[in-house]
Structure 1
Amino acid sequence: MSTINKLKIPVYQPSLTGNEMKYVQDCLETSWISSKGRYVAEFENNFSFYINSKYATTVSNGTVALHLALVALGIGPGDEVIVPTFTYIASVNAIAYTGATPVFVDSLKTTWQMDPDDVKRKITPKTKAIMVVHLYGHPCDMDRLTSIAKDYNLFIVEDCAEAFGSLYKGQHVGTFGDIGTFSFFGNKTITTGEGGMVVTKHKSLHNKLVHLKGQGVAEYRQYWHDVIGFNYRMTNICAAIGLAQLEQADDFIKAKRQLAQWYKDSLSVAPVKFHDEIGEVYHSYWMCSILVENEEIRDPLREHMANAGIETRPLFYPVHTMPMYNQRFEIFPVAEEFGSKGINMPSWPGLKKEQVDFICSTIKNFFA
């Protein structure tokens, strides 16, 4: 039996082969392990330079990045925020945390991203923002969405948790709207273990984000708090890991795009649909994802792959189907189709060609 058949191929694992250990060791040796230390500022500065954002501030995870962004924009009870139902639950939960109401929209069959026409249909006098989610690394249609936001005087919050390094017409996602947020969880393109970033082009908004994330402490009076804030700060150790990861970002994204091409080439004759790069975009392929022809096939295929030692994940179930958000009966056919037919395949940048060949042959054997 081939040794690869005995291997467990995870759906994701981080690559920690750069300066991560060196920088963390420096934190330990200098005792700068909490939310102060040079790596926090270095990570923020280098990140903002990388994506060409004017300002960036670190936070403790991607979910609080979204919450902080919404609070800083003044989103609260009585407001509505438009969000795709086909997204990770954190996007919607962050809206609920503020007391605002999430208003769901469907997705496009082509790009898998939120449908601008449905966005326009869902705008009401209570709408205050559009939460744009660049799902699985493919950018949304930012020309249409920014135009709609401008016409209706709405904020844009870009959820880039899965799209670090993705470009729309040569511009990094996260830099189109009023605020952009990123996640650095262990399965993201660059990771800090747990962590996030909030970026903006507005100085006053950046200052508000920094003020709120640090318990609302006044800038010029020690231990004086002038607003109800949050403890959403990133530690120096996490920032040290993030800085080391950022140094390798180009290599990670290049490897993930190569991985996607290997999958597409090998599965071109299989009865599956790949998440293709559509339009003038640069898809960072956080996850390499496929759709099967009907939902009855999806789970048996995943089980077949698991028996071969290959871990997979389903695509996100639409949030409007979950108990806390399904009080109102709604149908979103595209999102529901994706949620029932989709599979995320192993997508980490260190995956070898022979492992991809094995994964693809396992899929093709299922359909043989």
Structure 2
Amino acid sequence: MTLDWDDVEVANKWLSNRLSWQDATVVSQYEAEFARWNGSKYAFAFMGGRVALSACIYALDLQPGDEVIMPGYTCVVVPNAFKWAGVKIVYCDIELDTYGADVTQIESKITPKTRAILLHHLYGIVCRDYTAIIDLAKRHGLKVIEDCAHTTGAEYQGRKVGNCGDVAIYSSEKSKIFNTIQGGVAVTNDDRLAARIKEYYDQAPYPDEVSIEEQLRNVPLEFYQFKHPQSWWLGDVYYFLNKEYAIYSTSREEEQGICPAHYGRKMPAPIAALGLNQLKKIDYYIKCRRENAKIWQLWCEQNGYKQPVVIAGSIPSYLFYPVLVEPEIKQNIRWWGFKNFNATVSDWFTSHLHPVPGHIPGCKNAEIAIKQCINFPTLNQTCKFPGS
């Protein structure tokens, strides 16, 4: 819903200008602008938040046999990045106020082999135990990776999330706060870690031209399907004519735990140009999300449902508005959402390692969230950046 006609124009422009697809100056400009906007010293652009995570794992020098503690309520691409580096994953349970890792659960999992903690901020809400986890890591000499894929632009104590840990990752995949179809950024404020990420970055290839073209053609495809005022019919027509270009977030290989051949790519100029255009509008769309979240806050108050907790000193960016409802509602979420709100209400996450079925023992709160957490939308077609 953050794609507008100006993004389609950017994509079309780059489709007709293939000679500049590996212009590193455009990528550098995007990285500098993201770092400035995010309040980070360094930023590096990759072709996915999962690739940015692999770069962070490399930067932290996590080795086979090292342990990382992370929440057992996540997307499968996150543990994949650690598995492919040979790092042992130790799962901990979440809390149900913000769906972040429970600091008491983390502490109980620390062993002499623990090297790092991955904390995530889900659904655009700042993790309840943010400060406590950072403090715990410092006491034990552990590194902290912040997963901000859902929460780009959220703030805590006057800073954007991702600047309290050692490294952080963000996503511009098409379902996230801002949209380059696929893409991610790794940030750090540490000079030494930045040099290590740069080593990984310099070794990473660009995507091939077929992949770049496919991604650019997905911009109008997504726009006509979801944002165009007449998407109710133009979306189907455009999809029928261009469905061979459709990109899906998680590949079948990744769902099976197999590292795909295209993994580990850095961002080329055309996608960085889309990112620059999206950054011009990101604050506007986050403002829209915050305003629309008030609709669901009121709904919770009127219907007796618990609201997600906004911790003191934080300002969410509200990718979605998560609410725990009865399990039977989540089981029929599509029908229930349209019946009651004429809106698409989503069901992230449907398993411990979404979207892959499976069970992680000892994560009882995560099980509750899997069965009961639904996500109300915070953007719709009426949200349009002025002048776009």
TM-score normalized with structure 1 length: 0.81
Which one-letter code corresponds to 2:372 in the other structure?
Answer: K
2:167 to 179, 191, 204: 179
Aligned ranges 1:355-366 → 2 under 5 Å: none
Tell me the amino acid that sits aligned with residue 104 of structure 2: D
1:303 corresponding residue in structure 2: 335
Instruction: Tell me how far 1:202 sits from its aligned partner.
Output: 1.9
| Deviation, structure 1 residue 210 | 2.4
Instruction: Point out 4+ residue stretches in structure 1 off by more than 6 angstroms.
Output: 320-325
1:282 alignment partner, one of 308, 311, 315: 315
After TM superposition, the structure 1 stretch with the greater mean CA deviation from structure 2, 26-35 or 77-86, is 26-35
Match of 2:199 in 1: 211
Which of the residues 81, 88, 112 maps onto 2:99?
Answer: 112
Partner deviation per Cα, 1:73-132 (whole Å, 9 max, x = no partner)? 111311110101122222222121211111111112222211111111110001010011
Aligned residue among 339, 342, 349 for 1:316: 349
1:325–1:130 Cα change, 3 Å: farther
Change (3 A) 1:247 1:206: same
1:61 to partner: Cα distance: 0.7
Q: 1:199 to 1:73 in 2, by over 3 A?
A: same
**Aligned match of 2:74 in 87, 100, 123?**
87
**What amino acid does structure 2 have at the position aligned with 1:348?**
L
Question: Can you list the C-alpha shifts for 1:152-171, whole angstroms capped at 9, x where unaligned?
Answer: 11111111100100111111
Shift of 1:351: 4.7
Please, which moves more after superposition, 192-201 or 70-79? Answer: 70-79
Say which SS state the counterpart of residue 274 (structure 1) adopts.
coil
Query: Which of 117, 136, 159 matches 2:147?
Result: 159
Which of 362, 365, 369 is residue 331 of structure 1 equivalent to? 362
Maintained 8 Å contact 1:104/1:320: no
The equivalent residue for 1:129 is 116
Measure, in 1, the Cα distance between the counterparts of 2:158 and 2:266.
31
> CA–CA distance in 1 between the matches of 2:88 and 2:332?
37
How far apart, in 2, do the equivalents of 1:120 and 1:339 lie? 23
Query: Which residues in structure 2 correspond to 1:237-276 (within 5 Å)?
Result: 237-276=270-309
1:78 to 65, 89, 111: 65
Q: Secondary structure at the match of 2:293?
A: helix
The residue identity in structure 1 corresponding to 2:327 is: E
Question: Is 2:47 the counterpart of 1:43?
Answer: no
8 Å contact kept, 2:126–2:161? yes
Distance 1:159 1:323, change over 3 A: closer
SS of 1:303's equivalent in the other structure is: helix
CA distance in 2, matches of 1:51, 1:321: 28
Structure whose CA Rg is larger: 1
1:98 paired residue among 85, 95, 99 = 85
CA spacing shift, 1:320–1:244, aligned 2, 3 Å:
closer
- SS at the partner of 1:57? strand
Structure 2 unmatched ranges of 5 or more: 206-262, 384-388
- Give 1:340's aligned residue: 371
Shift of residue 289 of structure 1? 1.8
For residue 162 of structure 2, give the secondary structure of its aligned residue in structure 1.
coil
Q: Structure 1 stretch 175-184 or stretch 267-276: which is displaced more?
A: 267-276
Say whether residues 1:34 and 2:21 are aligned partners: yes
Alpha carbons of 1:255 and 1:322: their partners in 2 closer, same or farther (altered >3 Å)?
closer
Amino acid aligned to 1:332: C
What value does the CA root-mean-square deviation take over the aligned residues?
2.5
C-alpha contact (below 8 Å) 2:95/2:101 kept by paired residues: yes
How far, CA to CA, are the matches of 2:41 and 2:67 in structure 1?
A: 28
Give the aligned partner of residue 187 of structure 2.
199
Aligned 8 A contact 1:85 1:318 in 2: no
Instruction: Give the match's secondary structure for 1:207.
Output: helix
Secondary structure (helix, strand or coil) at the match of 1:343 reads strand
Distance 1:281 1:69, change over 3 A: same
Using the alignment, how far apart are the partners of 2:287 and 2:353 within structure 1?
35
- Indicate the SS of the match to 1:210: helix
- In structure 2, the CA distance between the partners of 1:216 and 1:241, relative to structure 1 (3 Å rule), is closer
Residue 295 of structure 2 aligns to a residue whose secondary structure is helix
- On the 8 A contact 1:259/1:351 being kept in 2, the answer is no
Q: What is the number of residues matched between the two proteins?
A: 324
The CA deviation at 1:204 is: 2.8
Which AA in structure 2 matches 1:296?
Answer: E
Stretch of structure 1 that moved more, 198-207 or 279-288? 198-207
Determine if contact 1:139/1:281 at 8 Å carries over to the other structure: yes
Distance 1:318 1:125, change over 3 A: farther
CA distance in 1, matches of 2:79, 2:264: 21
Native 8 Å contact 1:20 1:240 kept in 2: no
Change (3 A) 1:61 1:105: same
State the distance in 2 between where 1:306 and 1:154 align. Answer: 46
